[in-house]
A = this chain, B = another copy of it.
């Protein structure tokens, strides 16, 4: 399983931001095979984790026009800076 780690410092959010974030999450989960999505925001820091079965699923999701538009708005309006890391899960455990 592959995890995409999105980590951002927020510049300013607007009502569109929440709509777009919710829409992208729905798209990922319902149309692009995303297995799970967890986003947490504290102050100006946002971390969003999305879990995927394959690199191809991630590539298809990244290339979607709505996602590309959101990336541009994110860079221009919402985020002061952000990073994306793609990582392959090698070990995991859950409690309880």
Copies in the complex: 2
B93 and A90 within 8 A (CB): no
Chain B residues with Cβ below 8 Å from A49 are 5, 7, 47
> A3 at interface (Cβ–Cβ under 8 A)?
yes
A92 and B86 within 8 A (CB): yes
Q: How far apart are the CA atoms of A41 and B47 in the complex, in Å? A: 10
Chain B residue nearest to A51 in the complex (CB): B85
Chain B residues with Cβ below 8 Å from A45 are 38, 40
Given contacts A5-B49, A7-B38, A47-B47, contact A85 B89 (CB under 8 A): yes
28 contacts between A and B (CB under 8 A): A3-B85, A3-B87, A7-B38, A38-B47, A40-B40, A40-B41, A40-B45, A40-B47, A41-B42, A47-B47, A47-B49, A75-B95, A79-B95, A81-B96, A82-B94, A83-B94, A83-B95, A84-B93, A84-B94, A85-B92, A86-B89, A86-B90, A86-B92, A87-B87, A87-B88, A87-B89, A88-B88, A88-B90
